C-alpha cells in the first residue's frame, strides 16, 4: 500500500512547546495534575481507615484491662475482709474458752491455742492474748497470783501507779518476741486504750488504730474482744462497764497479713491500705494528708508504684472502703507494669503497621502508573549519559594503568596494545602490533608465556607467570596475567587480554626481606634461622650418607670490656673483622653464622666417616680458627686483642635434633671459658649433668633463705696472745636433702644468678645487728664480712650500707668488708672512689686472699685499706717450705710499712702460729683457734 500524501494547508505552524512536542506527550499534558493529587489522596484515605481501626482496637484493649482490674480490686477487698473475719472467729472462740473456764490454766490455754495452728491457718497473727483489768490497788494480789501460776519473773510494765491496769496475763505462743508483751499494760497506749474502751462499751469486736507492737517494736494493729463476768448486765453501756473482766486480743502486722495472702491477691496490683477513720490521725504518729483522689488518714500498708494509664490518659486506680471493728479502712489499688503487660494486646499494632505500609505502597504504585511515560523518557536520557560517562571513565582508567596491556590471539599474535609506560620499552609500541608473542619476549620466557596462554584458553584465566626483560640496560621483572575474552559470536577466533605488570620493586623487596630474615644485618652472615635450617639439612644428609659433621660454638673473650670501653661502633667493627676471618677459613659447603652479640657458630659438613677421625679433624679446624682470632685487630689505627672460646659437638647422634646440638656446643663452649678462656673443649655428657645440677642448685638456693636454710656462722680471729679480737662471718647452707652444701659449690652459683646481692645484704645486716648487740654488752669486737664484686658494683651499695648502719646502730669502725683482688682489675678509679665513700662512713676494708690474684704494690698505696689477709695456701707449708715462708714474711713486711693490719688465714698447727707471731703477724684465724660455729652460739658464749 502506497501512503497517501498529507493534505496541503496554509495554516501557520503552531508556536511554543506544542510545536515540537510528540503527540502523546501533548495529549497527556492536560492530566499532569494526576501524579500530584491522586497518590496523596489515596494515601490519606487508606491511612485514615488504618488509624480508625487502630484507635478502636486500643479502646477495646483499655476497656478489657479496666474491667479485669475492677474485678481484681473487688477480689482483693473481699479476701482482706474475709481474712479479718477469720481473725474475729478466732477471738470469739478464745473468748468462749475464757468465759467457760472458772480458772484459766496456762497449759490448757497453750494446748487450746496450739490446736488452732495459727501460723499455718491464719498467717499474719502474732498470737492470741488475755488482758485482765483490775484496780491499781489490786496490783500486789495480781502479782502474787501470777507468780503462783508459775510466772516467777512476771511484772506489770510500765511501772507506776494507775487507777486501772490492764496487763497482758496470757499470750500464746509464749516464746520469742511474745515474751516481751507479757505483763504490758495496754491501757498506756492511746490507740489501744481507745479500742479497748470501744470494745468494752459496745460488747463487739474493736480494731485498734496503728500502734507499736511490744513483740518486735514494729508498727501493727490489734483486735480486741471484751470479756464480761457472768453476773454482768450486758444490756446497757453502764452494765457492760461495770461487768468488764478483760479482753482477748489478737495482734498482727499488716505486712505479714498481706504476705500471707499473697496467693489470694493479684501480684501485679499495687495496694495501699489507709485507716481513714475520723480522728485516726490524732492517735497515730504516722499520718498522711489526702491529695486529689486519695484518702487522708494513717497509712497501714503500701506497695504502690506509678499506676498505669486508663482511658483518657488518667491513672487507672480503684478505691474500696471496709468497715472493720469500728474502723474504716480505705483500700487504694493501682495496676503495676506486669498487670498492664498481661492484658496488653499488641495484635492490632502489626495490622496497623501493615495497613500503613500497604497505604504507602498503594500511593507509590499510583504514582508509578501516573508518571510511567515521563520516567521512561528521563530514564533513557540518563542511561545514555551514564553510558557515555562509563565509556569515558573506562578510557581514562585504561590510560592510567601503568601495566602493559595486550590483546592476543590463541597463536600469540598481538592485535592491540596500550600502556602509560610505553616509553620504557626498547622499541615503539606500534612495533608490537601484528607480531607474535615469541618475537617479543626473551627466548627463555617463550615456553612459559605460551603455557600461560593455553591455561587461559582452557580455564579462562591464568596468572603468576614471571619473566625478565632488559629495558634500557636495566633488568626488569614482569608478571603475566591472561584472561580469555568472551567471543562476540559463536565460531569467532578466541581473543585474550594479557596484563604484564612490572614487579621489579617487589622482587627487590623480596630479596631484601629474605636478606633480613635469614642473614645478620651487621656481618651479612647467616642468622640463627638460616643456621637451624641448614643444620636440619646437614643432619639429615649426615644420617643418609653415614658421614660425621661438627658444630663449633665460638664466643669472644672479654668482648664486653672492649664494647663498653670503646663504644658499640668499635665493637661492631671488631665483630665484622671476626666474621671476615671466620669466613676466610670456611670450607666450601660449610656455614659460618652469627647468633647474636659475640657468639658465632660454624657448621662443618662431612668431616669424616667415623667419630674418632671426625673429632681430630674438627679439632684442627677449631684450632685454626682459634689461632686466627688471636691476631690483633686494627680499628681506626688502634690495635685491639680478643680471643675465642670454642665448644665442639659432633653429629649425628641417636635421637638428637639441631637444638640439642646447639645446646651441647654451647655447654662445651662455657666449659672452655671455665677452664681459662681461649680454649677448645669437646662436649661430654657429664657437662650436661653438671649444668642440670647447677640449675637445680640455683632453684633450691632461691628458696633457701625464705625457708631458713641459710645460716650465718663465725670463726674466731685472735691476737698474738690468743685473745679473741673479732671474727669472720661465713654463710652455711643446710639443705634438707643434700645436707651441708659447701660454700665453694653454692657461692659461684649465687654470683652467676644474682642471688648473691640479696644474700650479701643479709650477711651485712647480720653483722651489724651482732655488733650492736655486742656493743650493748660491752664487747668491742670487729666482724669481717665478704663482699662480692657484683654486690660492690651495685649503684646503691653505699646507700644500702649507710641504711643498715643507721637502722641497727652498729659502730661502723668495727665492721670490716672483705673484697678480693679481682675487684681491682676493672675500673680501678671507680673502685677507689666507692671504697673512699664507704670509708668515710667509718667502715674499714680488707683485701681477702692477698697474693693469689692481681697482686700489685701500686694499688695498695692508692686504696683506703685497713688490713691484708694472707691466703691459706701460703700458710699451709710454713715454716717448713722456704718459698712460702719468704712470701708470708714479705707480705707482713709490706703491710707493716704501709700501716696495714695483717690477718693470716688457715692456721691449723702450733708451729704455724708461732712462726706467724714471731714474724709480727697481728691477727690469726684458723682451726687451731676454733672452727666456724653458729653466730647465735658464738655471741651467747661471749656475752655469758
Residue 190 belongs to domain with CATH number: 3.30.450.350
Please report, for the domain that includes residue 496, its CATH number. Answer: 3.30.450.20
- For every residue of 735-774, DSSP letters joined together read ETTTEEE-HHHHHHHHHHHTHHHHHHHHHHHHHHHHHHHH
Q: 255 and 160 in one domain?
A: yes
Cα–Cα separations (whole angstroms), residue 51 to 45, 46, 468: 10, 9, 76
Residue 614 neighbours by CB under 8 Å, 6+ apart: 548, 549, 550, 607, 608, 650
> Is residue 306 within 8 Å of residue 292, measured between CB atoms?
no
Q: Which residue has the higher pLDDT, 18 or 342?
A: 342
Quickly tell me which residue has 508518571 as its cell: 371
- Taking 70 as the threshold, does the pLDDT of residue 23 lie above it? no
**What SS3 class is residue 389?**
helix
782, containing H or E segment: strand 782-786
Q: 253 and 105 in one domain?
A: yes
Of 394-408, 573-587, 858-872, which range is least confident? Answer: 394-408
Q: Is the dihedral of CA 507, 513, 519, 522 positive or negative?
A: positive
Of 208-212, 222-226, 457-461, 521-525, which range is least confident? Answer: 457-461
- Separation between Cα atoms, residue 743 and residue 751, nearest integer Å: 12
10 Å CB burial of residue 241 (0-12, 13-18, 19+) is middle
Of 399-413, 446-460, 596-610, which range is least confident? Answer: 399-413
Mean pLDDT of all residues in 548-576: 89
Q: Which residue has the higher pLDDT, 186 or 172?
A: 186
CB atoms within 10 A of CB 197: 16
- Separation between Cα atoms, residue 712 and residue 295, nearest integer Å: 88
- Taking 50 as the threshold, does the pLDDT of residue 175 lie above it? yes
Q: 867 and 894 in one domain?
A: yes
> Is residue 850 within 8 Å of residue 869, measured between CB atoms?
yes
C-alpha cell at 449: 608465556
Q: If pLDDT is split at 50, 70 and 90, which confidence band does 903 have? A: very high
Domain contains 49? no
Question: What pLDDT shows up at residue 138?
Answer: 87
Q: 713 and 675 in one domain?
A: no
- Taking 50 as the threshold, does the pLDDT of residue 291 lie above it? no
Mean pLDDT of all residues in 881-885: 89
Mean pLDDT of all residues in 755-766: 92
Q: Which of 300, 325, 355 is the last residue of a domain?
A: 300
Domain contains 716? yes
Q: 556 and 499 in one domain?
A: no
Question: What pLDDT shows up at residue 855?
Answer: 58
Percent of the chain past pLDDT 90, that is, above it, reads: 23
Which of these, 771, 802, 793, lies nearest to 784 by C-alpha position?
A: 771
C-alpha cell at 128: 492470741
Q: If pLDDT is split at 50, 70 and 90, which confidence band does 411 have? A: confident
Residue 492 neighbours by CB under 8 Å, 6+ apart: none
Q: 844 and 758 in one domain?
A: yes
Q: 494 and 557 in one domain?
A: no
> Is residue 574 within 8 Å of residue 642, measured between CB atoms?
yes
Question: What pLDDT shows up at residue 22?
Answer: 42
Q: If pLDDT is split at 50, 70 and 90, which confidence band does 123 have? A: confident
Q: Which pTM value belongs to this model?
A: 0.41
Q: 925 and 793 in one domain?
A: yes
- Taking 80 as the threshold, does the pLDDT of residue 238 lie above it? yes
Q: If pLDDT is split at 50, 70 and 90, which confidence band does 240 have? A: confident
CB atoms within 10 A of CB 307: 21
Question: What pLDDT shows up at residue 489?
Answer: 59
Percent of the chain past pLDDT 70, that is, above it, reads: 87
- Separation between Cα atoms, residue 47 and residue 361, nearest integer Å: 11
207 Cα distance to chain centroid: 63
Q: Which of 238, 269, 300 is the last residue of a domain?
A: 300
Q: Which of 626, 651, 683 is the last residue of a domain?
A: 683
- Separation between Cα atoms, residue 864 and residue 819, nearest integer Å: 12
Please report, for the domain that includes residue 736, its CATH number. Answer: 3.20.20.450
Count the alpha carbons within 13 Å of 341 in the hemisphere toward its beta carbon.
Answer: 5
Q: Kindly give the residue spans of alpha helices, DSSP state H, lying in 149-220.
A: 190-202
10 Å CB burial of residue 157 (0-12, 13-18, 19+) is middle
Total of domains in the chain: 4
Question: What pLDDT shows up at residue 749?
Answer: 85
900 Cα distance to chain centroid: 60
- For every residue of 696-730, DSSP letters joined together read HHHHHHHHHTTTT-EEEEEEEEE-TTS-EEEEEEE
Of 262-266, 519-523, 756-760, 799-803, which range is least confident? Answer: 262-266
Domain contains 9? no
- Separation between Cα atoms, residue 642 and residue 629, nearest integer Å: 7
CB atoms within 10 A of CB 545: 12
- Separation between Cα atoms, residue 871 and residue 177, nearest integer Å: 89
Domain contains 481? yes
- Taking 60 as the threshold, does the pLDDT of residue 7 lie above it? no
Domain contains 18? no
Q: 873 and 838 in one domain?
A: yes
Domain contains 370? no
> Is residue 225 within 8 Å of residue 244, measured between CB atoms?
no
Question: What pLDDT shows up at residue 13?
Answer: 41
CB atoms within 10 A of CB 659: 10
Q: Which residue has the higher pLDDT, 786 or 343?
A: 786
Question: What pLDDT shows up at residue 463?
Answer: 74
C-alpha cell at 43: 494515601
Question: What pLDDT shows up at residue 772?
Answer: 93
471, β-bridge pairs: 474
- Taking 70 as the threshold, does the pLDDT of residue 10 lie above it? no
Residue burial 251-262, b: 16+ Cβ < 10 Å; e: rest: bbbbeebbebbe
Mean pLDDT of all residues in 735-760: 88
Domain contains 192? yes
C-alpha cell at 549: 659433621
Q: If pLDDT is split at 50, 70 and 90, which confidence band does 553 have? A: very high
Task: Give the pairing type, strands 548-557 and 599-608.
Answer: antiparallel
- Separation between Cα atoms, residue 708 and residue 732, nearest integer Å: 11
278: alpha, beta or left, given left = phi > 0 and alpha = psi -120 to 50? beta
Q: 593 and 476 in one domain?
A: no
Q: If pLDDT is split at 50, 70 and 90, which confidence band does 11 have? A: very low
Q: If pLDDT is split at 50, 70 and 90, which confidence band does 429 have? A: low
> Is residue 682 within 8 Å of residue 615, measured between CB atoms?
yes
69: alpha, beta or left, given left = phi > 0 and alpha = psi -120 to 50? alpha
825, containing H or E segment: none
Q: 527 and 473 in one domain?
A: no
Q: Which residue has the higher pLDDT, 550 or 103?
A: 550
- For every residue of 120-159, DSSP letters joined together read HHSTTB--EEEEE-EEGGGHHHHHHHHHHTT-TT---BS-
pLDDT tens figures, 138-170:
888 888 888 887 777 888 889 888 889 999 988
Question: What pLDDT shows up at residue 17?
Answer: 37
Q: If pLDDT is split at 50, 70 and 90, which confidence band does 421 have? A: low
- Taking 70 as the threshold, does the pLDDT of residue 289 lie above it? no
Q: 905 and 783 in one domain?
A: yes
Domain contains 2? no
- Taking 50 as the threshold, does the pLDDT of residue 9 lie above it? no
Q: Which residue has the higher pLDDT, 684 or 158?
A: 158
In 3-state terms the chain splits into helix, strand, coil percentages (rounded to 5) of: 50, 25, 30
**What SS3 class is residue 919?**
coil
C-alpha cell at 70: 475492677
- Taking 70 as the threshold, does the pLDDT of residue 1 lie above it? no
Question: What pLDDT shows up at residue 472?
Answer: 62
Quickly tell me which residue has 562509563 as its cell: 390
Please report, for the domain that includes residue 636, its CATH number. Answer: 3.30.70.270
- For every residue of 618-672, DSSP letters joined together read HHHHHHHHHHHHHS-EEETTEEE--EEEEEEEEE--TT--HHHHHHHHHHHHHHH
**Mean per-residue pLDDT over the chain, rounded:** 82
Which of these, 287, 337, 331, 286, lies nearest to 309 by C-alpha position?
A: 337
> Is residue 898 within 8 Å of residue 863, measured between CB atoms?
no
C-alpha cell at 518: 635469614
Q: Which domain holds residue 893?
A: 705-943
Q: If pLDDT is split at 50, 70 and 90, which confidence band does 842 have? A: very high
Amino acid at each position: 500500500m502506497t501512503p497517501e500524501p498529507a493534505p496541503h494547508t496554509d495554516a501557520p505552524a503552531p508556536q511554543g512547546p506544542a510545536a515540537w512536542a510528540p503527540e502523546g506527550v501533548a495529549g497527556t499534558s492536560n492530566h499532569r495534575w494526576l501524579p500530584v493529587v491522586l497518590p496523596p489522596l489515596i494515601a490519606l484515605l487508606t491511612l485514615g481507615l488504618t488509624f480508625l481501626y487502630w484507635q478502636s482496637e486500643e479502646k477495646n484493649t483499655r476497656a478489657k484491662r479496666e474491667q479485669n482490674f475492677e474485678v481484681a480490686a473487688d477480689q482483693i477487698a473481699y479476701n482482706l475482709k474475709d481474712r479479718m473475719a477469720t481473725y474475729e472467729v478466732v477471738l470469739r472462740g478464745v473468748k468462749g474458752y475464757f468465759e467457760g473456764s472458772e480458772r484459766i490454766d496456762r497449759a490448757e490455754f497453750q494446748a487450746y491455742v496450739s490446736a488452732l495452728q495459727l501460723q499455718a491457718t491464719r498467717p499474719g497473727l502474732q498470737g492470741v492474748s488475755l488482758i485482765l483489768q483490775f484496780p491499781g490497788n489490786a496490783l500486789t494480789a495480781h502479782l502474787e497470783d501470777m507468780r503462783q501460776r508459775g510466772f516467777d519473773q512476771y511484772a506489770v510494765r510500765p511501772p507506776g501507779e494507775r487507777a486501772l491496769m490492764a496487763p497482758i496475763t496470757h499470750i500464746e505462743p509464749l516464746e520469742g518476741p511474745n515474751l516481751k508483751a507479757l505483763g504490758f499494760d495496754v491501757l498506756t497506749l492511746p490507740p489501744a486504750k481507745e479500742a479497748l474502751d470501744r470494745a468494752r462499751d459496745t460488747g463487739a469486736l474493736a480494731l485498734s488504730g496503728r500502734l507499736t507492737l511490744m513483740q518486735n517494736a514494729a508498727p501493727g494493729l490489734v483486735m480486741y474482744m471484751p470479756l464480761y463476768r457472768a453476773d454482768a448486765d450486758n444490756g446497757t453501756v453502764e452494765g457492760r462497764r461495770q461487768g468488764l473482766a478483760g479482753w482477748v486480743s489478737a495482734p498482727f502486722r499488716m505486712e505479714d497479713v498481706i504476705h500471707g495472702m499473697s496467693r489470694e491477691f493479684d501480684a501485679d496490683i499495687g495496694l495501699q491500705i489507709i485507716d481513714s477513720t475520723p480522728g485516726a490521725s490524732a492517735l497515730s504518729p504516722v499520718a498522711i494528708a489526702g491529695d486529689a483522689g486519695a484518702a487522708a488518714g494513717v497509712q497501714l500498708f503500701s506497695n504502690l508504684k506509678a499506676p498505669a494509664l486508663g482511658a483518657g490518659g488518667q491513672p487507672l486506680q480503684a478505691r474500696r472502703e471496709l468497715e472493720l471493728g469500728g474502723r474504716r479502712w480505705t483500700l487504694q489499688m493501682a495496676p503495676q507494669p506486669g498487670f498492664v503487660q498481661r492484658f496488653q494486646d499488641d495484635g492490632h499494632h502489626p495490622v496497623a503497621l501493615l495497613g500503613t505500609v500497604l497505604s504507602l505502597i498503594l500511593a507509590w504504585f499510583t504514582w508509578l502508573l501516573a508518571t510511567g511515560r515521563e520516567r521512561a523518557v528521563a530514564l533513557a536520557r540518563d542511561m545514555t549519559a551514564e553510558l557515555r560517562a562509563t565509556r569515558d571513565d573506562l578510557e581514562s582508567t585504561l590510560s592510567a594503568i601503568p601495566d602493559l596491556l595486550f590483546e592476543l590471539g590463541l597463536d600469540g599474535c598481538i592485535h592491540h596494545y596500550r600502556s602509560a609506560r610505553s616509553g620504557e620499552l626498547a622499541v615503539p609500541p606500534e612495533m608490537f602490533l601484528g607480531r607474535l608473542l615469541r618475537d617479543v619476549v626473551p627466548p627463555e620466557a617463550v615456553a612459559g608465556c605460551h603455557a600461560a596462554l593455553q591455561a587461559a584458553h582452557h580455564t579462562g584465566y591464568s596468572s603468576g607467570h614471571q619473566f625478565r626483560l632488559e629495558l634500557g640496560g636495566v633488568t626488569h621483572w614482569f608478571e603475566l596475567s591472561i584472561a580469555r575474552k568472551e567471543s562476540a559470536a559463536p565460531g569467532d577466533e578466541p581473543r585474550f587480554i594479557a596484563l604484564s605488570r612490572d614487579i621489579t620493586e617487589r622482587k627487590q623487596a623480596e630479596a631484601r626481606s629474605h636478606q633480613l630474615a635469614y642473614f645478620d644485618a651487621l656481618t651479612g652472615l647467616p642468622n640463627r634461622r638460616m643456621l637451624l635450617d641448614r643444620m636440619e639439612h646437614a643432619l639429615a644428609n649426615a644420617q643418609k650418607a653415614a658421614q660425621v659433621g661438627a658444630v663449633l660454638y665460638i664466643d669472644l673473650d672479654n668482648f664486653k670490656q672492649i664494647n663498653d670501653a670503646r663504644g658499640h661502633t668499635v665493637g661492631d667493627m671488631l665483630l665484622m673483622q671476626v666474621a671476615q676471618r671466620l669466613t676466610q677459613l670456611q670450607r666450601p659447603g660449610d656455614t659460618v653464622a652469627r647468633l647474636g652479640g659475640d657468639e658465632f657458630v660454624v657448621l662443618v659438613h662431612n668431616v669424616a666417616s667415623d667419630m674418632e677421625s671426625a673429632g681430630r679433624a674438627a679439632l684442627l679446624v677449631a684450632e685454626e680458627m682459634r689461632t686466627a682470632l688471636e691476631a690483633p685487630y686494627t680499628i681506626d689505627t688502634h690495635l685491639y686483642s680478643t680471643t675465642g672460646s670454642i665448644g665442639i659437638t659432633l653429629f649425628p647422634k641417636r635421637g638428637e635434633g639441631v637444638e640439642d646440638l646447639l645446646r651441647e656446643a654451647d655447654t662445651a663452649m662455657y666449659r672452655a671459658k671455665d677452664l681459662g678462656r681461649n680454649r677448645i673443649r669437646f662436649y661430654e655428657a657429664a657437662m650436661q649433668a653438671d649444668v642440670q645440677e647447677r640449675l637445680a642448685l640455683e632453684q633450691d638456693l632461691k628458696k633457701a633463705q625464705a625457708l631458713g636454710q641459710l645460716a650465718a656462722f663465725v670463726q674466731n680471729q685472735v691476737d698474738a696472745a690468743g685473745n679473741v679480737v673479732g671474727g669472720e662471718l661465713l654463710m652455711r647452707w643446710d639443705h634438707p636433702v643434700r645436707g651441708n652444701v659447701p660454700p665453694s659449690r653454692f657461692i659461684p652459683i649465687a654470683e652467676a644468678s644474682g642471688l648473691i646481692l640479696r644474700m650479701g645484704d643479709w650477711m651485712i645486716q647480720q653483722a651489724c645487728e651482732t655488733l650492736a648487740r655486742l656493743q650493748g654488752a660491752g664487747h668491742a669486737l670487729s666482724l669481717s664480712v665478704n663482699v662480692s664484686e657484683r654486690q660492690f658494683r651495685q649503684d646503691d651499695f653505699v646507700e644500702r650500707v649507710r641504711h643498715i648502719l643507721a637502722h641497727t646502730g652498729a659502730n661502723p669502725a668495727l665492721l670490716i668488708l672483705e673484697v678480693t683482688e679481682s675487684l681491682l682489675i676493672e675500673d680501678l678509679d671507680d673502685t677507689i672512689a666507692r671504697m673512699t665513700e664507704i670509708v668515710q662512713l667509718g667502715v674499714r676494708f680488707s683485701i681477702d686472699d692477698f697474693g693469689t690474684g692481681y697482686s700489685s704494690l701500686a694499688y695498695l698505696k692508692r686504696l683506703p685499706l685497713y688490713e691484708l689477709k694472707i691466703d691459706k695456701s701460703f700458710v699451709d707449708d710454713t715454716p717448713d717450705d722456704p718459698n712460702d715462708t719468704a712470701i708470708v714474711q714479705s707480705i707482713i713486711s709490706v703491710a707493716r710499712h704501709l700501716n696495714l693490719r695483717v690477718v693470716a688465714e688457715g692456721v691449723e698447727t702450733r708451729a704455724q702460729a708461732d712462726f706467724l707471731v714471731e714474724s709480727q703477724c697481728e691477727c690469726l684465724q684458723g682451726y687451731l683457734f676454733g672452727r666456724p660455729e653458729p653466730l647465735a652460739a658464738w655471741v651467747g658464749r661471749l656475752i655469758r
